[in-house]
Structure 1
């Protein structure tokens, strides 16, 4: 009985409630304001789409996040603030109470102050929701239990993080700062490492890492519940619960081992000081390298300067914080920086010389079971969807991709020299091999595609490549309507809903996509506009929901079908809308002038020829480009005059200009 009584001390709990009870009251008022009161406000408004509020996390999302990530942290700071003050910590620990009892009684006080407001809010919200008929079928009891459970879990986890961090420092201000740093440090550090690996390792790909990074930050993960409707899984709830319990016991062990005289020290445990110092130096070094490399368009010298200046700055700031003085400039203080620098130089040397054979590694044909070549962002999206198979098992395709990979490695210096050339069609492309052992080996490059046309031809001409494109993949989905929207100045849009016509159109689009050649990908023909396939609700959350297909002017079979069914005249501008065309030729270096608008370039032409012949007008219309993203080497610019009196400015590629037009400028 004596030990139990000494462990559970009601006097400490009562004292905590007297001093810090306002935290629980404030948390309760904030949550009542954010959730049940907001539900009542929504019910009183005239124009509210109740279906937008799919669960309780969507109710006053911003305020819920603010209250969750501030009040539990504040509770952890205030309840254990006495250990950061020399007088109070001596007084508390002079009492005949064991440290375990002191710790757990303050812990119990904090949990009660934080848990009760959430439970009271949940009960209040239940009755408020029941009073609003529109929410009865949307915000169900199970949704409320889910919100309550997750909000309680996050509250307890944040409280335990704050307590554990508090045991490592002797200053409340440092405890608050370090707590929030802890919430973002894992994701921030991993992101910096990924960015720097992409600078240092040619071909490094983060495609299989980026989607997992969000789980390293509690804040980002919680945001995704609201932004992307990604509820916590049972596995995540179990992991966060275990982390909460583990942190509490770590906090207890640190509390028992903590020296009382360390109050007011930034880091109270000598063992943790080097971790703080060199961790800060590393983060500062990576941040400096990232900044200078990015702002100088990839100059290696500036990367090294960023590493040196960042490491030096981070190290001296960490020393000043630990010593609580700016007077640190003596040789002994910088011996650690010298050792850190030697280790970094060795690591950079290993990476730069590729001693680990990372850059030159290409798996043999026998090792590869499947391969993917294409856009890295799309690969990231499709990995979680088993309905879309973007890898190919074709041995011929695998060999073609390996040959391209070999050429990329051999032409590394040339490709790197072209990465900042804005006149080239450079794209970020990824090569992902799925090996026989189940592992995936991936490499990502920014490629000037025109210079690799010979290697790309067997890949982009193959059906395997085209079938991995999102434009093709979405054709396999169920479609309820197809929209055609043009780029021309006369607003043209048609929507096809007939099931038979949709089926025929999808077959034609498949044929058009499969008939595309490497030239269509590297130098695509002008587009009339774009095509959107609207799927059923089953596919609303897929990466292919509403993915636009470029409506290329080279899709002749599609145009014939639209014309046959009477849609073509309503789908895009045609010769009947054109009165005349005035063509001029501009020889100026547009890259130096930095002009990006066709309408601004057109008046720069000295000679203007007027075209009225319908055959020539038709050809100009079909080959012209209506876009600000035109090739800067184009010399021919056109001003179409429409029958309604408006003007439409376009450009045309030099090799696509009709002979009748080019001859006018050669006379």
Structure 2
């Protein structure tokens, strides 16, 4: 009969509501405790920063995501559970009801069970929000509509997704497990494949992938709201809506062609069995390779061992699951693994030998519009703040390209520098080409061994202007607190706007005049500058950031001295009585470092009181002892001790002569 009722049966819907109505009650109670009751709790606290809660997704986001990704999935499991039971599926399908009608009826039941609690919670939340004066201007009605619509969309997506997965399997347990696997599979697969490519291809970059990885999973995307990442965009909502509609029709299509006797089978469709089997094999293989690459410090013998073990274990487990027995150890069963292995060996050989010329590819100068060179993690932070990090200076572009060419030529040398004592830095090179595309490479470079090649690039102004501290220096500060390095409590607070402006300008000049040694050599500083400022978009919340006061910043030291702040800003010669110097091994345990241990071991030591020698030693003193043989302990006037080491190349002649 051509009517609306031909697409669903009200009797089935009523039966579902009677049998599974508790799902709706549980969902409503959970949402009630998560949002409106949490708002009331916040309002009852003595001290609350209401501006922190910019939208309803930031109200108990961890609990919201827990219920959002569990209860809709449970509804999808329970409403179609009859498909996983041989007796139930035969009984239901013996009724004179079309499969489309059964499917749509259960879908409508699920939507009623899940959407009504959300709407009721939204109504309660509206009245609760309006009863709290502080939230009225922050959590507006439009924010409530946005939250309600988003929760409804994600709930429907999770429900339809679970139903679609349920049509592929004949076991409820497998349906639940596969649902969560498919939710996390895209992000896990991309991460693992990307990690493996990072040690298979020299220079492979994961930078832009790291920035967008959470978008591959609605679960991690929602979790990202807790970290105050960008809210859901119109594009994301559109994609989620399309996925929800697709899942509905995929589930319907699979239900119409599903064989009833496939109940209790792990995979209900024969054409999906190879997908499942080789998918599990591939996942286990890359996990095995990743594990042994980390455990074996990128030793290729261990990496291949990990690939082989992972593939064999994954293939065997998949066969056991499909055949529902552990007795699979026959040659014919593993013929598929042999074919898979042959294909993978060809692919691995092609990647390792770089048949696509990825490692040596360099854009021509005339193709490059702009370039970025710098620390990978610094660029991530700057990109989040929408900073323009690319330079269009032709000279700088040429220097970066020359350095990049040198890196590609020295691949074997750079990869061989894996010692723990080797200071390496993760460097990102990104070209913006004239056609708008980006070409990005990442390298872990032994900085000390490449000084000659790094010098033109890292001493250039475009590089220094991309240092995070340079951007931070231009934020409006409320105060500058100068804190001394060492065992004494010394600090100077500057609040005068003119002095803060002058000091910031001097620091900026020092930042731009740093040498390569200043940038890459780990040394102790005189102290640090603590800049206090208001948080963006926050009225009553403050934050601070620190800038290192390097010993090479002579103009900063002079400025502080001129304004009478130097004595209180750092340890000076007036604080030091004497120093004791000894010699020790170059290889020491940095985690257990204590210069007193060297003195107790019976090594010869000398006491220094000469002011000139003490001042030179203080200037070159460092807290980084590894690779140094001269160890020093300053004794201050208040009785405290400050110990560290002196780099061999900066030891005063008066001290080195004592040990001859």
| Same-fold call, TM cutoff 0.5 | yes
Deviates more, 1:311-320 or 1:599-608: 599-608
Deviates more, 1:425-434 or 1:309-318: 425-434
Which residue in 2 is equivalent to 1:338?
338
Is the Cα–Cα contact under 8 Å of residues 586 and 628 in structure 2 kept in the other structure?
A: no
Which residue in 2 is equivalent to 1:255?
255
Which residue in 2 is equivalent to 1:422?
420
Q: Report deviation, 1:131.
A: 2.2
SS of the residue aligned with 1:54? coil
Partners of 1:601 and 1:183 lie apart in 2 by: 56
Does residue 1:164 correspond to 2:164, yes or no? yes
Residues 276/599 of structure 1: CA separation in 2 closer, same or farther (3 Å cut): farther
SS of the residue aligned with 2:270? coil
SS of the residue aligned with 2:397? helix
Partners of 2:55 and 2:601 lie apart in 1 by: 58
Give a deviation string over 1:397-429, Cα, whole Å, max 9, x none.
2222222222222221121111x2122221111
Deviates more, 1:298-307 or 1:424-433: 424-433
Does residue 1:652 correspond to 2:646, yes or no? yes
Which residue in 2 is equivalent to 1:487?
485
Is the Cα–Cα contact under 8 Å of residues 479 and 533 in structure 1 kept in the other structure?
A: yes
Give a deviation string over 1:331-371, Cα, whole Å, max 9, x none.
22111111111111001111121111111111121221211
**Which TM-score applies when normalising by structure 1?**
0.94
Partners of 1:261 and 1:120 lie apart in 2 by: 41
Does residue 1:403 correspond to 2:397, yes or no? no
Residues 461/39 of structure 1: CA separation in 2 closer, same or farther (3 Å cut): closer
Residues 539/570 of structure 1: CA separation in 2 closer, same or farther (3 Å cut): farther
Does residue 1:300 correspond to 2:300, yes or no? yes
Partners of 1:333 and 1:208 lie apart in 2 by: 41
Partners of 2:453 and 2:135 lie apart in 1 by: 58
Residues 399/604 of structure 1: CA separation in 2 closer, same or farther (3 Å cut): farther
Partners of 1:518 and 1:559 lie apart in 2 by: 20
SS of the residue aligned with 2:427? strand
Which residue in 2 is equivalent to 1:663?
657
Partners of 1:663 and 1:463 lie apart in 2 by: 41
Residues 631/68 of structure 1: CA separation in 2 closer, same or farther (3 Å cut): same
Residues 229/446 of structure 1: CA separation in 2 closer, same or farther (3 Å cut): closer
Which residue in 2 is equivalent to 1:625?
622
Residues 600/249 of structure 1: CA separation in 2 closer, same or farther (3 Å cut): farther
Residues 442/312 of structure 1: CA separation in 2 closer, same or farther (3 Å cut): same
Q: Report deviation, 1:317.
A: 0.5
Give a deviation string over 1:293-352, Cα, whole Å, max 9, x none.
111111011110000100110011011111111111112211111111111100111112
Is the Cα–Cα contact under 8 Å of residues 595 and 633 in structure 2 kept in the other structure?
A: no
Correspondences of 1:438-517 after superposition (within 5 Å): 438-517=436-515
SS of the residue aligned with 2:204? coil
Partners of 1:600 and 1:105 lie apart in 2 by: 78
Give a deviation string over 1:58-85, Cα, whole Å, max 9, x none.
3233322221111111000000101111
Partners of 2:481 and 2:319 lie apart in 1 by: 63
Q: Report deviation, 1:594.
A: 7.2
- In structure 2, runs of 5+ residues without a counterpart are none
Which residue in 2 is equivalent to 1:291?
291
SS of the residue aligned with 1:328? coil
Residues 511/610 of structure 1: CA separation in 2 closer, same or farther (3 Å cut): same
Q: CA RMSD in A?
A: 2.0
Residues 539/118 of structure 1: CA separation in 2 closer, same or farther (3 Å cut): closer
Deviates more, 1:595-604 or 1:106-115: 595-604
Partners of 1:72 and 1:272 lie apart in 2 by: 25
Residues 376/539 of structure 1: CA separation in 2 closer, same or farther (3 Å cut): farther
Partners of 1:508 and 1:588 lie apart in 2 by: 37
Deviates more, 1:615-624 or 1:503-512: 615-624
**Which TM-score applies when normalising by structure 2?**
0.95
- In structure 1, runs of 5+ residues without a counterpart are none
Does residue 1:393 correspond to 2:387, yes or no? no
Residues 391/285 of structure 1: CA separation in 2 closer, same or farther (3 Å cut): same
Partners of 2:401 and 2:49 lie apart in 1 by: 52
Partners of 2:397 and 2:43 lie apart in 1 by: 59
Residues 659/605 of structure 1: CA separation in 2 closer, same or farther (3 Å cut): farther
Which residue in 2 is equivalent to 1:642?
636
Q: Report deviation, 1:631.
A: 4.2
Correspondences of 1:173-322 after superposition (within 5 Å): 173-322=173-322
